Structures are given as structure tokens and as C-alpha cells.
């Protein structure tokens, strides 16, 4: 399982990266899942003014490798970070490190396990559930994500998974999906929280006191797709 954080607006990159480090190390893990640390790699996607989207991945723990990434020097109005604890030991390494990418310009980060998504693609078996979920959720060649359609696709999945929490990013905008299967065993782990500060909105898998005290965070409603539009030509 994984942790996600997204910031849109006047992004203090160092603060958001530090929050992701805290989550990856288990320092903020006030939830109902035995997994606390997320050390099987990490990735980020952000907007670089004048150059569009940029991304970075590393198979090392975030706390050990942040300094080797472009993030410390990055200035942006949108940043998403994913820190990973692989559900299956066989699914570790560069191929499985998020954000997943596609040749139509989409980037994708997932927290959860959806081993039946392959069935909606007509595949004989699952090879990597997050990749299959990506292709099921976001039609190839699309330049947007319709919230009602997206949630309908999740509701239609055969039983067996737990969460479809995800961040999908395209040059035209980003989407945060908050969805868990009915009766999920660890609802607190898959809850998401929103923090609104002057000039910036942050959504994260956990309350991060380093950004603001717990009362400042609000629960993100279940079955939600949030849209963050990007200015054209910027």
C-alpha cells in the first residue's frame, strides 16, 4: 500500500516533500493498517512553468534519495508525490514505481490493490493491478476524466480489491480519485484529508502535523473525484 500527497497553488515544495518523507517513514501513521513505513520507492509529478509536466522516480526510500532528485530545486504550482509499500514482493523495481506513465501524456499514482481490474480490460490474468486500473479508469487518448464515469467504473469492478485512491495527471489538468470498496477492512488507512491554506490546497493520505495541526484538516468525502485545472500555455 502507499501514501499520496498533492498540492495545488502556491506550492512550498520543501514542505510538501518533507510531509511525504514523514508519511513514508511512518511518523504520521495514525490509522488502522499494520503497514506504517513505505520504503519501496517513490515518485513525483509536477508542472514546470514553460515546459509542461515533469516527473521523477526512484526505487530507494524517499528519505534516502530526495536529495538526489530535482525536487529540492523545483518551483511549481502543482506537485504530487507517491511513496510506495509494494503489496506483492514480486512487484518491486522501476517497472512498478509510480507515477506510471503512458504515451498519451498521462501520469498515474495509485494507493490500493485492485486485482480484478484486468477483467474489465479483457485480459486473461493480472500482471500489475495498478497498471490495469490506470488503463481501465482513463481511456487511452483522453484529455480529461469524467467524475461520474470514473466512479461508475470503480463501482463496477468485480469484488476482491480495496481502494482506488489515485492521482491522474495530464497536461490539461489533474484528478484526485477517492474511492474504497464497500466494507473495506481498513477504512481509516484509505481515508483522505484536505488542508486549505492561503494560496494552496493540499490533499493527503494522512494528517501531517508538520504542515498544519490536525483540526485544520478536513475529511475528503468518499466517492469523490477532485479536478485541478492547469492554465493553458503556462
Section 57-81 average pLDDT: 97
Contact between 72 and 151 under an 8 Å Cβ cutoff? The reply is: no
Kindly state whether residue 209 falls inside one of the protein's structural domains: yes
> Which CATH number fits the domain that encloses residue 88?
3.60.20.10
Q: What is the predicted pLDDT for the residue at 32?
A: 87
Kindly state whether residue 96 falls inside one of the protein's structural domains: yes
Q: How many domains does the chain have?
A: 1
Kindly state whether residue 27 falls inside one of the protein's structural domains: yes
Contact between 161 and 113 under an 8 Å Cβ cutoff? The reply is: yes
Close Cβ partners of 5 (under 8 Å, ≥ 6 residues apart): 16, 19, 20, 23, 80, 81, 202, 203, 204, 205, 208
Q: pLDDT for 166-203, tens place per residue?
A: 999 999 999 999 999 999 999 999 999 999 999 999 99
User: Could you give the 3-state DSSP secondary structure of residue 120?
Assistant: helix
Per the structure, the complete domain to which residue 15 belongs is given by 2-111+164-229
pTM for the full predicted model = 0.96
* Element containing residue 45 per DSSP (H, E): strand 42-48
Q: pLDDT for 71-99, tens place per residue?
A: 999 999 999 999 998 766 677 788 889 99
Closest CA relative to residue 132, chosen from 151, 149, 152, 157: 157
Kindly state whether residue 64 falls inside one of the protein's structural domains: yes
Amino acid at each position: 500500500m502507499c501514501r499520496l500527497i498533492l498540492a495545488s497553488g502556491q506550492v512550498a515544495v520543501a514542505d510538501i516533500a518533507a510531509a511525504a518523507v514523514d508519511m513514508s517513514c511512518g511518523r504520521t501513521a495514525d490509522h488502522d493498517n499494520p503497514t506504517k513505513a513505505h520504503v519501496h520507492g517513490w515518485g513525483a509529478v509536477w508542472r514546470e512553468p514553460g515546459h509542461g509536466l515533469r516527473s521523477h522516480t526512484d526505487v530507494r526510500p524517499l528519505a534516502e534519495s530526495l536529495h538526489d532528485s530535482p525536487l529540492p530545486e523545483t518551483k511549481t504550482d502543482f506537485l504530487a508525490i507517491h511513496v510506495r509499500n509494494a503489496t506483492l514482493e514480486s512487484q518491486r523495481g522501476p517497472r512498478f514505481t509510480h507515477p506510471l506513465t503512458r504515451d498519451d501524456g498521462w501520469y498515474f499514482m495509485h494507493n490500493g490493490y485492485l486485482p480484478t481490474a484486468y477483467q474489465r480490460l479483457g485480459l486473461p490474468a493480472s500482471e500489475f493491478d495498478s497498471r490495469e486500473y490506470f488503463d481501465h479508469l482513463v481511456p487511452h487518448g483522453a484529455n480529461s476524466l469524467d467524475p461520474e464515469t470514473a466512479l461508475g467504473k470503480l463501482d463496477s469492478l468485480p469484488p476482491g480489491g480495496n481502494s482506488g485512491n489515485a492521482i491522474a495527471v495530464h497536461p490539461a489538468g489533474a484528478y484526485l480519485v477517492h474511492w474504497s470498496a464497500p466494507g473495506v477492512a481498513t477504512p481509516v488507512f484509505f481515508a483522505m484529508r484536505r488542508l486549505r491554506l492561503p494560496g494552496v490546497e493540499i490533499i493527503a493520505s494522512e494528517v501531517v502535523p508538520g504542515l498544519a495541526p490536525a483540526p485544520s484538516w478536513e475529511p475528503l468525502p468518499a466517492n469523490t473525484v477532485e479536478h485541478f485545472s492547469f492554465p493553458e500555455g503556462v
